[in-house]
Amino acid sequence: MHLHREAGTSHLPVLSALKINFFGLRKAASWSALISGFIVVLISSTGPLVIVFQAARAGNFSPEQTSSWLLTIFVGSGLLGLILTMRHGMPIIGAWGSATTALLVTALPAHKFSEVVGAYFVASLGLLIVGATGIFNRLISMVPRPVVMAMLAGVLFQFGVNTFASLRSNALLGLSMILAFFIAKRFTFRAPVVASLMIGLAVAALQSKLVNPHIGISIPKPLWTAPAFTAGALLTLALPIFLLVMTTQNATGIAVLSSSGYEPPVNNIVFVGGFLSLISAGFGGSGVNLSAITAAIATQENADPNPKTRYFAGISAGAFYLLLGLLGGTVVGLFASLPPLLLAVLAGVALLPIIGSSINEALAESDYRDAGLVTLLVTISGLSAWNLGAPFWGLVAGVTVHRFVVPPKPKHH
């Protein structure tokens, strides 16, 4: 049974569906759905957001540039969720890709930000075309998923290593945050990253590691950056970003919705995400896609036992994202008060589950194990040639090894 048909809005004309879901908001509203949406945004504004600040530091961003970046990713995530949730009557959660942002930590020192913006334009245009033509499933099947997951694990690997390397410089801070994360997981706390942050703040305060910047409430101004298109940035950034958004974000987010009993509107999701990414790329937006990490919080029974009214959790998350976007300058000030080591550990523990699942998926199938391992190692190595970075060469090496090691299966007539 497909729940979106029960809700009766997904196959209706757009205006009719919007009218039904809008006037049904009062009935759909519940405290559990509201809190679920808040938790989604709370988790996103801790661990994954730290990666944005690390990328901003790598690119020597000014506070104004960082605020503009936050404005675009929060507003874009909020709009994606609100638009699709209201249209289809199911809890669709928007987000920005942690993995695609993590690419920038190593890419920004090697590429101008204008080249990064150009890569985002191209990747967004690709997603827009995929959504408009309806070839998502066909295209996904052409790229070996284990190879893409191995590249993702390689991109994120250093974040995990840095988590434990922190013990060399501040064992108390690093170890307390790591233990808090795993203790919270042991007791199935819904937001273990938040528990790690709280303990980290307490320890950093005891060690007098926190600074007190001037924090004011101000609406950030969007800053435009003209795109620059170079072959190196397009192959090193645009191609991996496109593949990561397709496979690790949208495909995973669609699977989460399906596992909760919904029939997600795949092409519409990809198209709207690509469109919002395209119009925000020039303002530093790092792409808009489905949430892959936090979506389950809003799509399962804990959010609302009734699947027909559960879409209010998506509305809640979208609204909280928009509010956070308007407070981008304040968020920058708050994170500026935290020691870099705390941010590094927080980013690492937030990404540990993704690193683990990516490595597992990359190496689980024997036919892809060699290709996955080669992709992982080449990506970790930081190999660069002809202005093309390690993620690109990892993909090339993995696909080549797979084609060489695993003979093509004979076609049966």
Quote the tokens at residue 263: 């029939």
Residue type at 257 in one-letter notation: L
Structural contact between residues 393 and 383, judged by C-beta atoms closer than 8 angstroms: yes
pLDDT at 83: 92
SS (H, E, C) the chain: CCHHHHHCCCCCCHHHHHHHHHHCHHHHCCHHHHHHHHHHHHHHCCHHHHHHHHHHHHCCCCHHHHHHHHHHHHHHHHHHHHHHHHHHCCCCCEECCHHHHHHHHHHCCCCCHHHHHHHHHHHHHHHHHHHHHCCHHHHHHHCCHHHHHHHHHHHHHHHHHHHHHHHHHCHHHHHHHHHHHHHHHHCCCCCHHHHHHHHHHHHHHHCCCCCCCCCCCCCCCCCCCCCCCCHHHHHHHHHHHHHHHHHHHHHHHHHHHHHCCCCCCHHHHHHHHHHHHHHHHHHCCCCCEECCCCHHHHHCCCCCCCCCCCHHHHHHHHHHHHHHHHCHHHHHHHHHCCCHHHHHHHHHHHHHHHHHHHHHHHHCCHHHHHHHHHHHHHHHHCCCECCECHHHHHHHHHHHHHHHHCCCCCCCC
Residue among 148, 169, 220, 189 at smallest CA distance from 340: 169
pLDDT at 287: 78
Assess whether pLDDT exceeds 90 at residue 384.
no
Assess whether pLDDT exceeds 90 at residue 79.
yes
Assess whether pLDDT exceeds 70 at residue 30.
yes
**Burial level of 118, CB count in 10 A (0-12/13-18/19+)?**
buried
pLDDT at 84: 92
Span of 21-35, 216-230, 265-279, 356-370 with lowest mean pLDDT: 21-35
Higher pLDDT: 209 or 332? It is 209
**Burial level of 135, CB count in 10 A (0-12/13-18/19+)?**
middle
Q: Which of 36-50, 322-336, 352-366, 394-408 has the highest mean pLDDT?
A: 352-366
| pLDDT-based confidence at residue 7 (cuts at 50, 70, 90) | very low
Measure the CA–CA gap between 393 and 97, rounded to whole angstroms: 21
Q: What is the mean pLDDT of residues 325-337?
A: 72
Cα–Cα distances in Å, from 250 out to 65, 264, 317, 362, 392?
A: 27, 11, 17, 18, 21
Give 46-71 pLDDT, tens digit per residue: 767 778 888 888 888 888 888 888 88
| pLDDT-based confidence at residue 4 (cuts at 50, 70, 90) | very low
pLDDT at 407: 63
Residue type at 68 in one-letter notation: S
Structural contact between residues 233 and 118, judged by C-beta atoms closer than 8 angstroms: yes
**Burial level of 216, CB count in 10 A (0-12/13-18/19+)?**
exposed
Q: What is the mean pLDDT of residues 10-17?
A: 63
Measure the CA–CA gap between 363 and 99, rounded to whole angstroms: 19
Question: Average pLDDT, whole number, for the chain?
Answer: 80
For residue 385, the cross-strand partners are 388
Residue among 288, 256, 282, 284 at smallest CA distance from 270: 288
Instruction: Report the share of the chain in percent with pLDDT over 90.
Output: 8
Measure the CA–CA gap between 93 and 89, rounded to whole angstroms: 12
Q: Which of 77-86, 236-245, 280-289, 360-369 has the highest mean pLDDT?
A: 77-86
pLDDT at 2: 40
pLDDT at 82: 92
pLDDT at 3: 42
Assess whether pLDDT exceeds 60 at residue 131.
yes
Q: Which of 79-83, 238-242, 408-412 has the highest mean pLDDT?
A: 79-83
Higher pLDDT: 290 or 79? It is 79
pLDDT at 8: 46
Structural contact between residues 281 and 113, judged by C-beta atoms closer than 8 angstroms: no
